[in-house]
Structure 1
Amino acid sequence: MMFFSCVGYIVLIVVTIYFILVLKQWIRLFKYINLLPGSRAKSFLAHSTDLVKGRATVFKTLRHWGKTYGPVYNISATNLFPSANISGSEEFEKIASTTKHIEKSSIYKLFDRWLGQGLLTSTGSLWHTRRKILTPAFHFSILQNFVSIFNSETKKLVNDLQKETDKPWINILPHISLFTLYSITETSMGSTLNISTSADKSYIKAILELGGLLAERLLRPWGYNKLYDYISLDGIKERKITNDIHNFTQKIITERSKQFKKFQVPSENDSYSMRKKLAFLDLLLNGKEDGNIDDQGIKDEVNTFMFEGHDTTSMSICFTLMLLANYRKYQDEIYEEVVTVIGDNEDPDINRLNDLRLMERFIKESLRLYPSVPFISRSLEEDTIVNGYLLPNKAIVNIHIFDIHRNEKDWPEPEKFDPDRFLPENCVNRHPYAYVPFSAGPRNCIGQRFAMLEIKAVLCGILRNFILEPIDTPETIRIVTDIVLRPENNNIKIKISPRHNKI
């Protein structure tokens, strides 16, 4: 009896010490974060009431706070979770340029059920190992294979859009969303989706729905509690959809595993003609053979690539098409560049896509104004001085890429659309962290070359077949707070007409 009594006392002491240490850390966080500029919260709920007013209103409010209080400021959803916010390039560099702050913040735990410990959410040695396995997927020789997939899917998209040319306008977003979903499915899993089959149709619907559910949860402080999964209708729906996605992914992995044979991972110097057609999944299965990843890890990485390679690229293409419609001079010049560099009917290869310099500048300026991932978040692993303020160890730091891209310190007339900002001579003295659509530092996006090639390939196909005319404009588009940069009601409207007078 005395033994159990002693054990009970020891457990009580350990638990008490733990809570004292946690409380001490929270008090320190609260102290230093509240020294930052910002709107002072008058209640326990802090600014949570501002963050449930509708996603378009929330987006405008966040931009106002960044402009008013930035580049380092304090806006917290509740006083329980004090966090720092950053909207300047120099300040972002302090966080992103070091390997010490690669851990994502607790916000990303919302993705755990879907993405597990994939490249987006993992940290430490696990993240390093996975990054090493997947880096060869973006070597020249494999990217060339992916370009052929982009070309094939572009032709399907063009055929789809040709049925829409007699309409006064179309919402381009669902068309592009399917294009990027088909492309990432084939490049990541080596499988071709078919919207006419019930299983594939259900998977497509599930992927599109899950992003919206997570975006709603992101803005609600109570959404971070695990009870949300079981007591809210959205939480229950999210669990079901996630399970459906996982079952579909597992089926593809199982089928490809049966035919898999270990291979030599290509080096950067391998020629395209020597390479067989590989998907990201093949590299993961190869890693499993080497003992570097298990079955759950493979599923996590495939789901991560499906998420990161679908919605982000889709939104970038849609905003770029909207800008092309609004800036007809650039649209005509880029069409001429495509015909000159590639031709009017030939499929582009990776070399000629890289030669589309004007198109690339246009895309970069589009990504500056409309970065697909407008917000990222880190957890600090040591005390860090930023702009004269101490940000304490374990502090959540939210980086607002949308605001960094419109900071007047780095971008004169930031709202003005001007692709010439990316002429080589205009980039010389720009801060290296002023333009970060794919993040920056050691944790930058591994797929940025993949994304740029996909965007260029689809623009070639669209511009060679259609003239784009404006319906929506930068002034009429209302952006909402979401996981990715998204327009209100998922609408980006343009008019497309057949291009009869080709060069």
Structure 2
Amino acid sequence: MLLGVVLTVLCLPFLWWYFFLQKFKSLSAIPGPRPLPLIGNALDVGDTPTALFNNCAKLLDQYGDIFKVFIANECKVFIANADFLEEIMTSNVHITKSNGYYLLKPFLNFGLLTSSGSKWKRRRKLITPTFHFKILDQFLDIFNASSDILVKKLFNEVGKESTDVCPYIHLFSLDVICETAMGVKISSQEGKNSEYVNSLIHYFDIFIVRFFSAWRRFDFLFKFAPEYPIQEKYLETLQKFSTSVIKKRRLEKSQEVVETTSDLGIKRRVALLDLLLESDDLTNDDIKEEINTFMFEGHDTTASGVTFALLALAENPEVQQKVYDEVLAVVGDETYVSMQHLQDTKYLEMVIKEVQRKYGAVPFVERQLEMDATIRGVHFPRGTTLNLYLYGVHHNEKYFPEPEKFDPDRFLPHRQSERHNYAFVPFSAGPRNCVGQKFAMLAMKVIIIKILKTFKIIQVPDHKPQLGMAAVLKSYNGVRIRLIRRDTD
């Protein structure tokens, strides 16, 4: 009797595994590595950001631009094919994010990034106008001021054999995002508000740990993990900061003092928070969801884009010189980078787009199918996770020959028109594209212009970034360059 019970208990997981695989039998035509019982393809994918990055690239080479893996209780189909991406991204049905995003719920709750259905549609409709061109124009003062502080900090690195620019760019990005989102200067580049800054940075370190740990993904088990009380401490700091800013701003608005900042009647710059406060439909908690979401999505992606842009310019001095010549022609000796300057730096925009192609800040986005779906003749069962492998499509030779070559001319108008519209999607596309993509482009342009006007960027021999991907693409051994002052080179 006891033996029978034991055998039954031992067999149950394997029985579950059999029926789990049967559920996705319609995907048998999609290639992929053979899964092992219960653990699936966990060994093929890896358990660190760098392993995930390298292994997915190998699987792409081995199986082509659509392949599948089984991880724990998920069937993930990686898609680096522009035709499939177009059909998925333009759908108004397949918009639900995958389970991995819900690991961010303690901080983001259900903001624009993590929500779905009618709530997402309402929030999207409300937030999209906040990134209107006229609003972005008001952010230029912030971009310029924060960039000037960064340039001053980088003077300390002039003449050194190498400098890891990641910490500098990260703090710059935090300053920019916090002031544009909440209207608050945290001055992280000058060492202020260190508790909030450290909490934000280290909270996402814990998110990465959970992302790659099967048992930590379960909330009830994670409470027993050593990281749990640390996460709760960080969350308390983050939520307290956001709550206090929202309450203060709402009070100012009710007292009608938000319109001016001086006796001269100079109009206060509008932050994302101010625009959200104008909606009668949003509670303080609703607003906090969106502010925290913008902080999360904005600071890491902007920092990633700028650091890899500096790396690319160091590795390609002829491109750097061409950008510098354009900056001199357009901006000249002016110290303030205006909207007209940004519109006229066409080659710099091509360079940034090539950075976004080769080193896209968001390597993938995931959707969870809530119903059976047939996409380009392939039947995907309900529950399939579609991994929209943006890094993969950007390195697909079908769309970008010699994908490892850094070539901004790929984005000349005539070459873009010859390419599939969904071959280059650094901010996703369709209904769930990133609302902040214009913001990111403008911020990157300002800081790159400021840095190039002041420094020549030199490649560090033998420095090879160790790329890894989870929430964003990062180099886990830093991004090292040399800086030389232009007035002394």
- State the SS of the aligned residue for 2:70: coil
Q: In the TM superposition, what whole-angstrom CA distance separates every residue of 1:181-215 from its partner, at most 9, and x where no partner exists?
A: 00000000000013499971111111111222212
Tell me if the contact between 1:151 and 1:348 (Cα under 8 Å) persists in the aligned partners: yes
Q: What is the letter of the counterpart of residue 233 of structure 1?
A: P
1:9 is matched with none
1:422 is matched with 411
Distance in 1 (CA, whole Å) between partners of 2:154 and 2:424 is 33
Cα displacement (A) at 1:253: 1.1
Distance in 1 (CA, whole Å) between partners of 2:86 and 2:42 is 28
Distance in 1 (CA, whole Å) between partners of 2:35 and 2:70 is 8
Q: Does 1:43 align with 2:37?
A: yes
Tell me if the contact between 1:210 and 1:242 (Cα under 8 Å) persists in the aligned partners: yes
Q: Does 1:353 align with 2:342?
A: yes
1:280 is matched with 272
Cα displacement (A) at 1:23: 11
Q: How does 1:16-31 map to 2 (within 5 A)?
A: 29-31=23-25
- State the SS of the aligned residue for 1:128: helix
Distance in 1 (CA, whole Å) between partners of 2:470 and 2:137 is 32
Distance in 1 (CA, whole Å) between partners of 2:197 and 2:234 is 11
User: Aligned match of 2:201 in 208, 233, 250?
Assistant: 208
Tell me if the contact between 2:65 and 2:392 (Cα under 8 Å) persists in the aligned partners: no
Q: What is the letter of the counterpart of residue 255 of structure 1?
A: K
TM-aligned CA distance change 1:25 to 1:135, over 3 Å: farther
230-239 or 167-176, larger mean C-alpha shift: 230-239
2:428 is matched with 439
Q: What is the letter of the counterpart of residue 433 of structure 1?
A: Y
User: Aligned match of 1:406 in 381, 395, 404?
Assistant: 395
1:186 is matched with 179
2:232 is matched with 239
Q: What is the letter of the counterpart of residue 58 of structure 1?
A: L
- Matched pairs, number: 466
Q: How does 1:74-153 map to 2 (within 5 A)?
A: 74-78=68-72, 80-153=73-146
1:484 is matched with 472
Cα displacement (A) at 1:484: 0.5
TM-aligned CA distance change 1:133 to 1:479, over 3 Å: same
Distance in 2 (CA, whole Å) between partners of 1:384 and 1:419 is 37
196-205 or 178-187, larger mean C-alpha shift: 196-205
Q: What is the letter of the counterpart of residue 278 of structure 1?
A: V
Cα displacement (A) at 1:274: 11
Q: What is the letter of the counterpart of residue 327 of structure 2?
A: V
Tell me if the contact between 2:65 and 2:81 (Cα under 8 Å) persists in the aligned partners: yes
Distance in 2 (CA, whole Å) between partners of 1:196 and 1:173 is 12
Tell me if the contact between 1:34 and 1:74 (Cα under 8 Å) persists in the aligned partners: no
- State the SS of the aligned residue for 1:231: coil
Tell me if the contact between 1:142 and 1:277 (Cα under 8 Å) persists in the aligned partners: no
Distance in 1 (CA, whole Å) between partners of 2:479 and 2:469 is 16
Distance in 1 (CA, whole Å) between partners of 2:48 and 2:368 is 27
TM-aligned CA distance change 1:274 to 1:383, over 3 Å: farther
Tell me if the contact between 1:212 and 1:482 (Cα under 8 Å) persists in the aligned partners: no
1:257 is matched with 250
TM-score norm. by structure 2 comes to 0.90
Cα displacement (A) at 1:227: 2.2
Distance in 2 (CA, whole Å) between partners of 1:440 and 1:115 is 22
2:481 is matched with 494
- State the SS of the aligned residue for 2:482: strand
Q: Does 1:156 align with 2:127?
A: no
Q: What is the letter of the counterpart of residue 205 of structure 2?
A: G
1:6 is matched with none
Distance in 1 (CA, whole Å) between partners of 2:218 and 2:472 is 22
Q: How does 1:34-73 map to 2 (within 5 A)?
A: 34-73=28-67
Q: What is the letter of the counterpart of residue 98 of structure 1?
A: S
TM-score norm. by structure 1 comes to 0.88
TM-aligned CA distance change 1:472 to 1:215, over 3 Å: farther
Tell me if the contact between 2:350 and 2:411 (Cα under 8 Å) persists in the aligned partners: yes
Cα displacement (A) at 1:386: 3.4
Distance in 2 (CA, whole Å) between partners of 1:198 and 1:428 is 46
- State the SS of the aligned residue for 1:257: helix
User: Aligned match of 1:458 in 447, 453, 461?
Assistant: 447
TM-aligned CA distance change 1:356 to 1:199, over 3 Å: closer
Cα displacement (A) at 1:97: 1.0
Q: Does 1:174 align with 2:179?
A: no
386-395 or 413-422, larger mean C-alpha shift: 386-395
Tell me if the contact between 2:172 and 2:189 (Cα under 8 Å) persists in the aligned partners: no
1:369 is matched with 358
- State the SS of the aligned residue for 1:91: helix
Q: What is the letter of the counterpart of residue 481 of structure 2?
A: I
- State the SS of the aligned residue for 1:85: strand
Distance in 2 (CA, whole Å) between partners of 1:36 and 1:169 is 45
TM-aligned CA distance change 1:319 to 1:196, over 3 Å: closer
Tell me if the contact between 1:337 and 1:358 (Cα under 8 Å) persists in the aligned partners: yes
Q: In the TM superposition, what whole-angstrom CA distance separates every residue of 1:111-140 from its partner, at most 9, and x where no partner exists?
A: 111101111001122112212222222112
TM-aligned CA distance change 1:495 to 1:84, over 3 Å: same
Distance in 2 (CA, whole Å) between partners of 1:326 and 1:448 is 25
Distance in 2 (CA, whole Å) between partners of 1:114 and 1:91 is 32
- State the SS of the aligned residue for 1:438: coil
- State the SS of the aligned residue for 1:74: strand
1:18 is matched with none
Distance in 2 (CA, whole Å) between partners of 1:72 and 1:37 is 7
1:304 is matched with 293
Q: What is the letter of the counterpart of residue 63 of structure 1?
A: A
Unaligned runs of 5+ in 1: 1-21, 264-272
TM-aligned CA distance change 1:70 to 1:385, over 3 Å: farther
Distance in 1 (CA, whole Å) between partners of 2:214 and 2:278 is 41
Distance in 1 (CA, whole Å) between partners of 2:41 and 2:17 is 22
